[in-house]
Chain A
Amino acid sequence: MTKSMHIVKLSIGYLLKLLLVTVFIFPFLWMISTSLQTFKETLAFPPTMVPAVPQFINYVTAWQSGPFLTYFSNSAIITISIIVIQMLVLIPAAYGFAKYKFKGSSFLFSLVLLAFMIPGQVTFIPVYLMMSDWGIGRTLLPQIIPFMTNAFGIFLLRQYLMQVPEELIEAARLDNASEFKILWKIMIPMSKPALATIALFSFVSHWNDYFWPLVMTDSAAVRPLTVGISMLRETEGISNWHVIMAGNVILVIPILIVYLFCSKQIVKAFVYSGIK
């Protein structure tokens, strides 16, 4: 093979890969483009690629079509609360399962695995009824407390902690450290990568969650952003795509910006979760 043929072959490879990635990126670009078009432009066929004058007003229309500030802050409160509570619950649990021998531990751990396998799609009816029974149906709690135990997180962190040599804990005991200190000063700093993965996972899945808030909420006051945006079609009319896409951009942009800046860590975290 001559050198020039090799270069041609190489560039075709590059082009095909770029085409592939376009298939996955283009819809987002299309979303942004539409969100800046006029209603008239969206009706054109062949479609308008780039709006003549960017219509930022669409964002205002979308934002004012519902209590979006409430939606946004609900999403933030729910996601942050879940991550904080999960960490408080899962760290001691994972440590207990990883480093202590106690009666019934394998049975109790199998319950964790069970929790990992049973999805919310199975339990949502009874949980919804429980929440209304407890009188907290109209608060944010039904979207937070059912997620207090992150079974996947316990599983992942336990795997991680099991690899920490026993001698480290023994050395700390000889250094007269309390059990809490061992956990706080040695185990937690050592498991930062695992904890970051777990937190990131929680963030992405709860910020994006649609099913659970949909079935748990009856009023706008407690709805998160995903449900709010999904209702744009009902409030703004089925064919007002420019406004719907503007709302959609509001939902996607925070995650996309985070991804743009730390895609490497995010990719790593997801790969880590899959290989374990």
Chain B
Amino acid sequence: MASIELKNITKTFEKHDVIKDLNLTIEDGKFTVLVGPSGCGKTTLLRMIAGLDPQTSGQVLVGGKDVSKTAPGQRGIAMVFQNYAIYPTMSVRENIEFGLKNNKVPKAERIELVESISETVGLKDYLDRKPSTLSGGQRQRVALARAMVKKPSVFLMDEPLSNLDAKLRVQMRIELIELHKKLGTTFVYVTHDQVEAMSMADKIVLMNKGVIQQEAPPEVMYHTPSNQFTAQFIGVPPMNITYVREKQLTFGFRPESAAIGRSPQQGLVQTSGEIITREMLGSETIYQIKTPLDTFMIKSIDDQYRVNETVYVSLPEEKIHFFDDQEKRIAQDSSLYLDKIQALRGQYYG
């Protein structure tokens, strides 16, 4: 087990800085998810930790030890790839023990390790099969077993679930959470899917354009996003953010924070509008409503409203977020926040 520290990391591709002076500490034993849109540098970061594409400058520390110049195979790290990267000509057993053999683990110990790991991931009956005869989920397990058997101090995973179908993905998510609990090892998981990040992470590291936007546990990130990017990246549908020109302020609210009804209701902001689209998802319904302020996505457990109907929308004071002109969220205890509340209060937009 080990923590990971990145100090003043810079990565340059063809004279172009993909990541510049980045500092990040990943805590020992935690499930950390690196998330962000494609091209944000999350995979680059992961590959630098693994040593596959070493950083241009800066240091990588694993367990307090500087591994900046250590070969990938000697960093005590295991990685699960998006396409699993299972050796196609080796049996499941050979795949799992390949790393052990290279590390000169004695045969008896090897056999024991392979047996026990394959038991854990449910591959015991498939040890002598070739990968081509396995299903997608089973291949995923081979990749996991191959990583686990080395008893690494850090687990790196690069979008490991993106090749699975939706149902299996949800199941594997839960298995990974359980696996992390059982092993207690540091997990670093890269994904572009914020649902995966929210559901699995102890801590989310959200990146955009090579810069870390926010590091926080899922609930903190959801309720107190540090800026507009974070607010809109996390959550489906994303936070509604509106600029009110006559007041010169930007405010936002989560789709489920608004109340809708056929008569006017109490709230800091009140408005009304016509329902343009309606998505019935089962337990909840998402309405797209066009109001004089803006067009909002609003999530409600009430599915009785129909397209073309006009409804009233109201927002409670405590659910409103304000952003400054740097797109940073204004903290609720700052005086600026109170000014903004005053500016919005008591007006009906409609």
Binding site for B on A (CB under 8 A): 165, 167-168, 170-178, 181, 185-186, 189-190, 192
Using Cβ atoms and an 8 Å threshold, which residues of chain B touch A181?
Answer: 102
Using Cβ atoms and an 8 Å threshold, which residues of chain B touch A189?
Answer: 89-90
- Encode contact with A along B30-55: 1 for CB under 8 Å, 0 otherwise: 00000000000000000000101000
Using Cβ atoms and an 8 Å threshold, which residues of chain B touch A172?
Answer: 87, 98
Using Cβ atoms and an 8 Å threshold, which residues of chain B touch A177?
Answer: 73, 98-99, 102
Tell me which of B52, B72, B77, B89 contacts A186 (CB under 8 A): B89
Q: B252 CB to closest chain A CB, in angstroms?
A: 40
Within B95-120, the residues touching A (CB, 8 Å) are: 98-99, 102-103
Contact A174 B98 (CB under 8 A): no
Contact B102 A170 (CB under 8 A): no
Contact A174 B50 (CB under 8 A): yes
Q: A244 CB to closest chain B CB, in angstroms?
A: 48
Asked if A167 meets B74 with Cβ closer than 8 Å, knowing A175-B99, A176-B103, A177-B102, the reply is: no
Q: B136 CB to closest chain A CB, in angstroms?
A: 16
Asked if A190 meets B79 with Cβ closer than 8 Å, knowing A170-B52, A174-B73, A181-B102, the reply is: no
Asked if A171 meets B102 with Cβ closer than 8 Å, knowing A176-B73, A176-B74, A177-B73, the reply is: no
A168, B89: Cα distance in complex, Å: 11
| Residue B276 interfacial (CB < 8 Å) | no
Contact B81 A167 (CB under 8 A): yes
Q: Name B103's closest neighbour in chain A (CB-CB).
A: A176
Asked if A171 meets B81 with Cβ closer than 8 Å, knowing A176-B102, A177-B98, A186-B87, the reply is: yes
Q: B163 CB to closest chain A CB, in angstroms?
A: 12
A178, B81: Cα distance in complex, Å: 20
Add 19 more A-B contacts to A168-B85, A170-B85, A175-B98 (CB < 8 A).
A167-B85, A171-B79, A171-B146, A172-B87, A173-B52, A173-B71, A173-B72, A173-B73, A174-B72, A174-B77, A175-B102, A176-B71, A176-B102, A176-B103, A177-B73, A177-B99, A177-B102, A178-B102, A192-B89
Using Cβ atoms and an 8 Å threshold, which residues of chain A touch B79?
Answer: 170-171, 174
| Residue B78 interfacial (CB < 8 Å) | yes
> How many A-B residue pairs lie within 8 Å, measured between CB atoms?
61
Count of chain B residues with Cβ under 8 Å from any Cβ of A? Answer: 23
A-B pairs with beta carbons under 8 Å apart, 7 shown: A170-B50, A170-B79, A174-B72, A174-B77, A175-B99, A176-B73, A185-B90
Using Cβ atoms and an 8 Å threshold, which residues of chain A touch B52?
Answer: 170, 173-174
Using Cβ atoms and an 8 Å threshold, which residues of chain B touch A168?
Answer: 85, 87
| Residue B240 interfacial (CB < 8 Å) | no
A176, B72: Cα distance in complex, Å: 7
Q: Name B88's closest neighbour in chain A (CB-CB).
A: A190
Contact B73 A175 (CB under 8 A): yes
| Residue B83 interfacial (CB < 8 Å) | yes
A174, B90: Cα distance in complex, Å: 17
Q: B248 CB to closest chain A CB, in angstroms?
A: 51
Q: Name B152's closest neighbour in chain A (CB-CB).
A: A174
Contact B73 A170 (CB under 8 A): no
Using Cβ atoms and an 8 Å threshold, which residues of chain A touch B83?
Answer: 165, 167
Q: A5 CB to closest chain B CB, in angstroms?
A: 47
Using Cβ atoms and an 8 Å threshold, which residues of chain A touch B90?
Answer: 185, 189
Using Cβ atoms and an 8 Å threshold, which residues of chain B touch A174?
Answer: 50, 52, 72-73, 77-79, 99
Within B107-154, the residues touching A (CB, 8 Å) are: 146, 150
Using Cβ atoms and an 8 Å threshold, which residues of chain B touch A185?
Answer: 87, 90, 98
Q: B72 CB to closest chain A CB, in angstroms?
A: 5
A186, B102: Cα distance in complex, Å: 13
Using Cβ atoms and an 8 Å threshold, which residues of chain A touch B82?
Answer: 167
A168, B102: Cα distance in complex, Å: 15
Using Cβ atoms and an 8 Å threshold, which residues of chain A touch B50?
Answer: 170, 174
Q: Name A176's closest neighbour in chain B (CB-CB).
A: B73
Q: Name B89's closest neighbour in chain A (CB-CB).
A: A189
A136, B50: Cα distance in complex, Å: 53
A189, B88: Cα distance in complex, Å: 9
Using Cβ atoms and an 8 Å threshold, which residues of chain A touch B102?
Answer: 175-178, 181
Residue of B82, B83, B98 contacting most chain A CB atoms (<10 Å):
B98
Q: B348 CB to closest chain A CB, in angstroms?
A: 58
Using Cβ atoms and an 8 Å threshold, which residues of chain B touch A165?
Answer: 83, 85
A168, B87: Cα distance in complex, Å: 7
Q: Name B80's closest neighbour in chain A (CB-CB).
A: A171
A122, B170: Cα distance in complex, Å: 65
Using Cβ atoms and an 8 Å threshold, which residues of chain B touch A176?
Answer: 71, 73-74, 99, 102-103
Q: Name A187's closest neighbour in chain B (CB-CB).
A: B89
A185, B94: Cα distance in complex, Å: 11
A136, B211: Cα distance in complex, Å: 67
A193, B278: Cα distance in complex, Å: 55
Using Cβ atoms and an 8 Å threshold, which residues of chain B touch A178?
Answer: 102
Q: B99 CB to closest chain A CB, in angstroms?
A: 4
Using Cβ atoms and an 8 Å threshold, which residues of chain A touch B77?
Answer: 174
Residue of B50, B77, B82, B89 contacting most chain A CB atoms (<10 Å):
B89
Using Cβ atoms and an 8 Å threshold, which residues of chain A touch B98?
Answer: 172, 175, 177, 185
Residue of A168, A171, A177, A192 contacting most chain B CB atoms (<10 Å):
A171
A18, B277: Cα distance in complex, Å: 69
Contact B73 A171 (CB under 8 A): no
